[in-house]
């Protein structure tokens, strides 16, 4: 048996791959041989990542659509002729960027909608559009990025946590429906991953710095995660090596929480 991850001949769509974790996943999947389809709602961001992949000798094309718009998603994936690997990465607060921590009692239903639109419905839209070609080919991999906030709970991000928990529950159910077609469906649950956007948004006030230090002590490995910490496991779950793993949620969190 070979342990090399070989995705040669596979088309892998990564949503929200114009920056951060999605960008790292696109670069790593391309390094493993996949022809990556780099989605983002921001065309220039998708183009820049495609350039990076091509410069590194990989295969990539941009595919601009809004994951919250099912019509655009379905059209774009159909025009591609389907995909073999789908990574549901677009998330957080969607086009508005990162999650804004707010006590639930200070929010209204309109504030919740954007979290559901991108993290839950975006995942459902892309999965719905990607499944027909996977079923026809008798092979597919779906990996969805969720959050430890959805497994463990986290104050001030309840609508986001609820949307991610919904996405994880959705993926477990889809795993049961499509396993017989050679399609696996898994989630990766993240602790704090130090993306450029997150580092730039971290408050540099004395209280903000103190809060970060306190939070970091809860991470057994004593550092924030990096996008590359995520890209490795996603690439493994996208590969033929993981064909007997489905319906699972893997925590990638430096030991922030443990699960049985």
Q: Give residues in contact with ligand NAD (CB under 6 A).
A: 15-16, 18-22, 39-42, 45, 66-68, 89-92, 94-95, 97-98, 118, 122, 145, 147, 190, 192-193, 195, 197-198
**Is there a contact between 214 and 171 (Cβ–Cβ < 8 Å)?**
no
Q: Which long-range contacts (CB under 8 A, 24 or more apart) does 247-250 make?
A: 247/171, 247/172, 247/175, 247/176, 247/179, 247/185, 247/186, 248/186, 248/187, 249/146, 249/151, 249/168, 249/172, 249/186, 249/187, 249/188, 249/189, 250/186, 250/187, 250/188, 250/189
The nearest distance, CB 156 to ligand NAD, in angstroms, is 14
In three-state secondary structure terms, 46 is helix
Radius of gyration of the chain (CA): 18
The nearest distance, CB 40 to ligand NAD, in angstroms, is 5
The residue of the chain with the least Cβ separation from ligand NAD equals 91
Sheet containing strand 85-88, edge to edge, reads 59-64, 35-40, 11-14, 85-88, 140-147, 183-190, 249-252
The nearest distance, CB 56 to ligand NAD, in angstroms, is 19
The nearest distance, CB 251 to ligand NAD, in angstroms, is 11
Q: Select 147 or 235, whichever has its Cβ closest to ligand NAD.
A: 147
Q: Select 36 or 45, whichever has its Cβ closest to ligand NAD.
A: 45
Active site members? 160
Q: Select 62 or 82, whichever has its Cβ closest to ligand NAD.
A: 62
The nearest distance, CB 4 to ligand NAD, in angstroms, is 27
What DSSP state is assigned to residue 256? S
Q: Select 31 or 194, whichever has its Cβ closest to ligand NAD.
A: 194
Q: Select 33 or 143, whichever has its Cβ closest to ligand NAD.
A: 143
């Amino acid at each position: 048996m070979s342990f090399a991850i070989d995705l040669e001949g596979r088309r892998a769509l990564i949503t929200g791959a114009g920056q951060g974790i999605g960008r790292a996943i696109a670069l790593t999947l391309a390094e493993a041989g996949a022809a990556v389809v780099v989605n983002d709602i921001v065309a220039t961001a998708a183009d820049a990542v495609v350039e990076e992949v091509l410069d590194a000798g990989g295969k990539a094309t941009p595919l601009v659509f809004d994951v919250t718009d099912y019509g655009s998603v379905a059209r774009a994936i159909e025009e591609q002729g389907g995909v073999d690997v789908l990574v549901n990465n677009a998330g957080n607060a969607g086009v508005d960027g990162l999650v804004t921590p707010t006590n639930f009692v200070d929010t209204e239903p309109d504030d919740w909608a954007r979290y559901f639109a991108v993290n839950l419905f975006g995942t459902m839209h892309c999965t719905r559009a990607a499944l027909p070609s996977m079923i026809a080919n008798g092979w597919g991999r779906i990996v969805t990025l969720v959050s430890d906030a959805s497994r463990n709970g986290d104050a001030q991000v309840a609508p986001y946590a609820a949307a991610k928990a919904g996405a994880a529950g959705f993926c477990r159910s889809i795993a049961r429906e499509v396993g017989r077609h050679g399609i696996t469906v898994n989630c990766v649950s993240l602790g704090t991953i130090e993306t450029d956007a997150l580092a730039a948004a971290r408050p540099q006030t004395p209280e903000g710095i103190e809060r970060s230090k306190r939070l970091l002590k809860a991470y057994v490995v004593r550092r924030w995660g990096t996008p590359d910490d995520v890209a490795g496991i996603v690439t493994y779950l996208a590969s033929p090596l993981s064909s007997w793993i489905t319906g699972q949620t893997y925590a990638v969190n430096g030991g922030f929480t443990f699960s049985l």
